[in-house]
């Protein structure tokens, strides 16, 4: 691994948390800026990382496709695609994008300057995701990590078990529509793939907010099987079917008209019963695109960076743990990050 040599080359001196997000001084660019920046490196397509109206955007082809689908002509002035494994120079900084295993196109931004290397991991997870390549640990001097599920109570169970709960419920309640709330980008498509792997081959019905992103995944080579858009008139006929919708739609007026709807929600927050009950969820599925506690702590060891900066989530617990393990850790407060699992 490379080591920072002089004080001026330590990332403390050239990578800053600013009001606009993480800013790389020698490259004059932001990573995941939360307001429009002249030059931006985007880790992935979630709205709290990829915003509209940046000047020049560098991202993976998958992320660019998502941004284009979401923002159209507003997405950027100019874009540059960078595949995993390629490098590009921006100013004096060498930039590459390593897989983050979070959603389609998601990447860690790897920045090298004067022999020091920083990895900004964006959002990531370590378990298998059939819709994107797995997280790749990259040795570095400073590792910037999220901490969405940064408490030891958050330990996501195996995906298969969670999907099996849904399939069991469909058997027990064949007369009820199963309204499945899931984040529209990433979680929805991963769930569909997991259901297909679990042997579910019936058509899956989609809320209006889901269609475009599912089409995009298919166009990017992620087959999702038979999908149907839900019209108002069809609702009555959907007894015993799965209808996928954004979590906010579960308590929305839209959810009326289905036969005896059973609300299902797929999110890492479902691990805590009280949170699931607050949301009136009848079948909580613990399924997240973010690393759980075990994945977060394992990743610190796998990456082995002596310095760790913790961004959004429950920073305090993870910083405490990392220090106990001998890392030089601190919390880096970045404005504008949301708990996207929560919507």
Partner 1 sequence: MKPFAGLLERLVFTPSRNGKLRHLQRYFAETPDPDRGWALAALTDGFERKYATPSLVRPLIEARADPVLFRLSHDYVGDLAETVSLMWPGPAEAARENAPLALSDVIETVREARRKEVPALIAGWLDRLDPSARFALLKLLMGGMRVGVSARLAKTALARYGGIDLDRIEEMWFGLSPPYTDLFRWLDGTGPAPAVDDRLMFRPMMLATPLEGEDVARLDAGAHAAEWKWDGIRVQLAAHDGQARLYSRTGDEIGGSFPEIAGAADFDAVVDGELLVVAAGEVRPFNDLQQRLGRKSVTRRMLADYPAHLRAYDLLFEGGEDLRALPLDARRDRLAALIARENKSWLDLSPEVPFASWDDLARLRGDARAAGIEGLMLKRRDSTYQAGRPKGPWFKWKRDPLTADCVLMYAQRGHGKRSSFYSDFTFGVWRGEEVVPVGKAYFGFTDAELRQLDKWVRDHTIDRFGPVRAVSFGLVLEIAFDSIQRSNRHKSGLAMRFPRVARIRWDKPVAEAERIETLEALVERAAPDLVAQ
Residue 46 binds which of Zn ion, partner 1, none (CB < 5-8 A, kind-dependent): Zn ion
Of the ranges 94-102, 165-173, 201-209, 211-219, which one interacts with partner 1 (CB under 8 A)?
Answer: 165-173
Residue 23 binds which of Zn ion, partner 1, none (CB < 5-8 A, kind-dependent): none
Contact yes or no for 105/59 (Cβ under 8 A) = yes
Contact yes or no for 136/119 (Cβ under 8 A) = no
- Contacts with Zn ion by CB under 5 A: the residue count is 2
Tell me if 251 contacts partner 1 by CB under 8 A.
yes
Q: Which of residues 295-314 bind partner 1 (CB under 8 A)?
A: 314
Q: Which of 7, 172, 233, 326 binds partner 1 (CB under 8 A)?
A: 172
Token pair recorded at residue 25: 């001084």
Between 233 and 256, name the residue whose CB sits nearer to partner 1.
Answer: 256
We find the least distance from the C-beta atom of residue 340 to Zn ion, in angstroms, to be: 5
Contact yes or no for 149/288 (Cβ under 8 A) = yes
CA dihedral for 99, 100, 104, 109, sign (positive or negative): negative
DSSP 305: -
* Residue 318, C-beta contacts closer than 8 angstroms, at least 6 positions apart: 145, 147, 150, 296, 297, 310, 329
Tell me if 290 contacts partner 1 by CB under 8 A.
no
Of the ranges 48-56, 141-149, 151-159, 222-230, which one interacts with partner 1 (CB under 8 A)?
Answer: 151-159
Edge-to-edge strand order for the sheet containing 262-266? 227-229, 204-206, 242-245, 178-181, 262-266, 283-285
Can you tell me the distance from the alpha carbon of 309 to that of 142, in angstroms, rounded to the nearest whole number? 7
Whole-number CA gyration radius for the chain: 21
Tell me if 108 contacts partner 1 by CB under 8 A.
no
Please work out, in degrees rounded to the nearest 5, the angle formed at the alpha carbon of residue 144 by the alpha carbons of 189 and 106. 25
We find the least distance from the C-beta atom of residue 76 to partner 1, in angstroms, to be: 36
We find the least distance from the C-beta atom of residue 127 to Zn ion, in angstroms, to be: 15
Q: Which of 123, 159, 292, 315 binds Zn ion (CB under 5 A)?
A: 123
Residue 231 binds which of Zn ion, partner 1, none (CB < 5-8 A, kind-dependent): none
Between 233 and 253, name the residue whose CB sits nearer to partner 1.
Answer: 253
We find the least distance from the C-beta atom of residue 62 to partner 1, in angstroms, to be: 29
CA dihedral 22→25→27→29, nearest 10 degrees, is: 40
List phi, psi (to 5°) of 76: -170, 170
Of the ranges 10-18, 62-70, 117-125, 154-162, which one interacts with partner 1 (CB under 8 A)?
Answer: 154-162
- Closest among 58, 18, 55, 15 to 38, alpha carbons compared: 55
Tell me if 198 contacts partner 1 by CB under 8 A.
no
Q: Which residue has the tokens 């920072």?
A: 4
Residue 233 binds which of Zn ion, partner 1, none (CB < 5-8 A, kind-dependent): none
Can you tell me the distance from the alpha carbon of 113 to that of 34, in angstroms, rounded to the nearest whole number? 24
Question: How crowded is residue 160: how many other Cβ atoms within 10 Å of its Cβ?
Answer: 10
Q: Which of residues 312-331 bind partner 1 (CB under 8 A)?
A: 314, 316-317, 320-321, 324
Tell me if 70 contacts Zn ion by CB under 5 A.
no
Q: Which residue has the tokens 């490259």?
A: 27
Q: Which of 40, 281, 305, 329 binds partner 1 (CB under 8 A)?
A: 281
Token pair recorded at residue 311: 């961004």
Q: Which of residues 20-39 bind partner 1 (CB under 8 A)?
A: none
Q: Which positions lie near Zn ion, rule CB under 5 A?
A: 46, 123
Q: Which positions lie near partner 1, rule CB under 8 A?
A: 151-158, 161, 165, 172-173, 250-253, 255-256, 260-261, 263, 271-274, 276-278, 280-284, 292, 294, 314, 316-317, 320-321, 324
């Amino acid at each position: 691994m490379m080591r920072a040599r002089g004080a001026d080359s330590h990332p403390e001196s050239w990578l800053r948390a600013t009001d606009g997000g993480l800013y790389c001084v020698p490259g004059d660019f932001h990573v995941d800026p939360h307001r429009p920046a002249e030059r931006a490196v985007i880790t992935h397509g979630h709205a709290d990382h990829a915003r509209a109206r940046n000047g020049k955007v560098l991202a993976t082809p998958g992320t660019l496709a998502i941004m284009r689908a979401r923002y159209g002509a507003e997405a950027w002035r100019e874009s540059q695609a960078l595949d995993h494994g390629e490098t590009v120079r921006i100013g004096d900084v060498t930039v590459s994008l390593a897989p983050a295993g979070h959603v389609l196109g998601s990447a860690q931004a790897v920045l090298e300057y004067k022999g020091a290397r920083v990895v900004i991991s964006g959002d990531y997870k370590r378990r298998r995701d059939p819709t994107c390549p797995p997280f790749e640990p990259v040795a570095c001097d400073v590792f910037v990590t999220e901490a969405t599920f940064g408490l030891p109570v958050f330990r996501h169970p195996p995906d298969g078990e969670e999907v099996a709960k849904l399939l069991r419920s469909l058997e027990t309640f064949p007369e009820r529509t199963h309204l499945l709330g899931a984040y529209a980008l990433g979680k929805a498509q991963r769930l569909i793939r997991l259901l297909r792997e679990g042997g579910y081959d019936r058509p899956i019905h989609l809320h209006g907010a889901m269609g475009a992103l599912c089409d995009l995944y298919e166009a990017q080579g992620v087959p999702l099987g038979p999908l149907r858009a839900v019209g108002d008139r069809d609702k009555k006929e959907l007894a015993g079917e799965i209808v996928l919708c954004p979590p906010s739609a579960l308590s929305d007026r839209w959810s009326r008209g289905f036969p005896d709807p059973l609300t299902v929600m797929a999110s890492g927050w479902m691990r805590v019963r009280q949170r699931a009950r607050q949301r009136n969820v009848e079948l909580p599925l613990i399924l997240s695109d973010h690393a759980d506690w075990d994945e977060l702590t394992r990743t610190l060891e796998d990456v082995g960076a002596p310095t760790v900066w913790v961004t959004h989530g429950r920073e305090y617990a993870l910083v405490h743990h990392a220090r106990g393990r001998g890392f030089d850790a601190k919390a880096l407060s970045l404005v504008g990050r949301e708990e996207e699992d929560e919507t």
